[in-house]
Amino acid sequence: MKAIIATTVFGIIMMFAGIVVNNKKSVASIAALLFIALLGVNIWDLLTTSANAPQLLYGNMLRVEHYSLWFNTLMTGCSVLYVLLMGKEIQKVGSHVAEYFALIFFILCGLYILSTYNNLLMLFIGIEILSIPQYILAGSDKRNLKSSEASLKYFLMGAFSTGILLMGIALLYGAARTFNIMDMVGILHSDALNPLALAGIMFIMIALSFKVSAAPMHMWTPDVYDGAPTPFTAYMATVVKASAFFAFLRLFQVSFNSLSEHWTIILAIITAATLLVGNVTAVFQQSVKRMLAYSSIAQAGFMLFAVLAVNQFAWQGIIIYAVAYSVATIGIFSVLVKLKDYTYDGFNGLAKKEPLLAFTASIFLFSLAGIPLTGGFMAKYYVLLAVVQQGHLLWLVIFALLMAAISVYYYFRVIIAMYFKTGTPEFNSPITMGDKVMLMVTCILVFLLGIFPQIFLYHV
């Protein structure tokens, strides 16, 4: 796991780069290069690790499976895409550009730990490393009251949920006498189950539901996503959320698999509630940014399907969903961030003025809505497949499909505004050739995910 070390070092380099280099633009370029280097390190990790036997590292604290490395690589790839698409906008958020990039490197460090942890303590540490930089990023637009509110709210809620997580871990330790998630499998049996363990599992489930913004623990999400500077919202809603899901799945798939009869129904209810709240509330939003916040809750409902389905498809499901959802959401945010007005009316007539921007935005929205041939369809398909395979949650599948139909309503409102309404959208900055090229690349990725998903599941 050279990537963990590399990302930490890169983060520190970025912090110093902020002192040495004064020009925002060069800082952003250095960051982009370092991100690409980090992707290289991840690929190096992937190639030098044996595909068959998991590798135990750092005194059994981390267990490195091949699919975890693959997940890391893909998420780092998404981060590269993110930095290339959003670099210019990140520079505009405030004056401490280098620090923002450094914080993103630290978030990735947390991500790498969360995808490979073998010990509940590492889960806790991973989540903290992942969360704390986000609290800062959410409040990075210091003069803006909403941004400060977002940061504080996020911090308080995050700290609260971490407390619950620790409580759960402690209870679980009481029952299993170990922090090691593999050893737990042998100790926690369904027949002679310590009630402490059940309580622990519930606490952990609630805490992780906070992190992935599942209802009814989602209350912080809209305000935080809406208040945080848009480029950072894009990152929080995608890569960060996906990694929390991966951690969620890892624990419940590996350690609590044999106990699934005890927690499936509760998680199923959480899933249904998440889908309902996310989709129905998104319909009533007037701001596209806030709509995307609710839509990220709705999409979380679909990702929870992977956790619910305790089978092999779940890994494929979560990985393809994480990538497809991240790529499309980063894409739509990078269009949104160009506009002055974040309401639906701000999109009016975009197709006339910037046809390429409107076209790519439509493709990203199609993907989020799950239209075939886009990544979003394959992602939804995989998680549904996983649950149908598992057999007894068919009611939830049908419910989810109805909710997916509702989601078409609010995603297509943006398309209607762009194509069928007249208006003159105003931009924050002129759209350059580079932006267009990057958007096209993202668009091609969306199609690639939808037509040849097997490429992205190569190592699963």
Partner 1 sequence: MVLLLLILIPLITGILSFAVKGDGAKALALISSILTLGVSAYVSGANYTAPITYNHDWIPILGTQLSFVADGMSSMLCLLTGIVVMVVMISSVNKNVESPGAFYGFLLLSQAGLMGVFLAYDALVFYVFWELALIPVYFLCSRWGGEKRIQVTFKFFIYTFVGSLMMLAGLIYLSMQTQGLSSYSWPDIVRAGASLPPATQQWLFWLIFIAFAIKMPIFPFHTWQPDTYEQSPTPVTIILSALMVKMGLYAVLRWLLPVLPSGVAYWSDTVIILSVIGIIYASCIAIVQTDMKRLVAYSSIAHMGLMCAVAFSHSNIGMHGVMVQMFNHGITITGMWLIISMVENRWGTRDMTKLGGMATSAPNMAIAFVIISLASIALPLTNGFIGEFMLFNGLFSGTESNHVTMTVIAGLGIILGAVYTLNMIQKTAYGSTVKMTIAKDLSMNEYLGLAIIVILIIFLGVYPKPLLDLTSGIAGMIVK
Q: Which residues bind partner 1 (CB under 8 A)?
A: 366, 371-373, 381, 384-385, 388-389, 394, 397-398, 401-402, 404-405, 408-409, 412, 416, 419-420, 452-454, 457
Q: Taking the complex as a whole, how short is the minimal distance between the CB of residue 316 and partner 1, in angstroms? A: 8
Of 205 and 384, nearer to partner 1 (C-beta) is: 384
For residue 397, the one-letter residue type is V
The Cα 460–Cα 315 span in angstroms is 7
Q: Note whether 44 and 2 are within 8 A (CB).
A: yes
The Cα 119–Cα 391 span in angstroms is 31
Q: Taking the complex as a whole, how short is the minimal distance between the CB of residue 251 and partner 1, in angstroms? A: 26
Q: Taking the complex as a whole, how short is the minimal distance between the CB of residue 380 and partner 1, in angstroms? A: 9
Q: Taking the complex as a whole, how short is the minimal distance between the CB of residue 65 and partner 1, in angstroms? A: 19
The Cα 370–Cα 367 span in angstroms is 5
Q: Note whether 402 and 276 are within 8 A (CB).
A: no
Of 35 and 305, nearer to partner 1 (C-beta) is: 305
Of 187 and 280, nearer to partner 1 (C-beta) is: 280
Of 12 and 283, nearer to partner 1 (C-beta) is: 283
Q: Taking the complex as a whole, how short is the minimal distance between the CB of residue 75 and partner 1, in angstroms? A: 22
Q: How many CA atoms lie within 13 A of 415 on its CB side?
A: 17
Q: Taking the complex as a whole, how short is the minimal distance between the CB of residue 2 and partner 1, in angstroms? A: 30
Of 167 and 371, nearer to partner 1 (C-beta) is: 371
Q: Taking the complex as a whole, how short is the minimal distance between the CB of residue 417 and partner 1, in angstroms? A: 10
Burial 63-102 (b: 16+ CB within 10 A, else e): bbbbbbbbbbbbbbbbbbbbbbbbbbbbbebbebbbbbbb
Q: Taking the complex as a whole, how short is the minimal distance between the CB of residue 195 and partner 1, in angstroms? A: 36
Contacts of 181 (CB under 8 A, 6+ apart): 117, 118, 119, 120, 250, 251, 254, 255
Q: Taking the complex as a whole, how short is the minimal distance between the CB of residue 382 and partner 1, in angstroms? A: 9
Q: Note whether 137 and 93 are within 8 A (CB).
A: no
Residue 67 tokens, joined = 């699919």
Residue 18 tokens, joined = 């902020």
The Cα 182–Cα 313 span in angstroms is 20
Of 21 and 408, nearer to partner 1 (C-beta) is: 408
Instruction: Give me the DSSP letters along 234-280.
Output: HHIIIIIHHHHHHHHHHHHHHTSGGGHHHHHHHHHHHHHHHHHHHHH
> How many residues appear in the chain?
460
Q: How many CA atoms lie within 13 A of 263 on its CB side?
A: 27
Three-state secondary structure call for residue 285 = coil
For residue 65, the one-letter residue type is E
Long-range contacts of 457-460 (CB under 8 A, 24+ apart): 457/316, 457/319, 457/320, 458/70, 459/46, 459/51, 459/66, 459/67, 459/69, 459/70, 460/67, 460/70, 460/315, 460/316, 460/319
Q: Taking the complex as a whole, how short is the minimal distance between the CB of residue 237 and partner 1, in angstroms? A: 24
Of 58 and 452, nearer to partner 1 (C-beta) is: 452
Of 269 and 398, nearer to partner 1 (C-beta) is: 398
Of 217 and 363, nearer to partner 1 (C-beta) is: 363
Of 58 and 409, nearer to partner 1 (C-beta) is: 409
Of 335 and 386, nearer to partner 1 (C-beta) is: 386
Q: Taking the complex as a whole, how short is the minimal distance between the CB of residue 85 and partner 1, in angstroms? A: 24
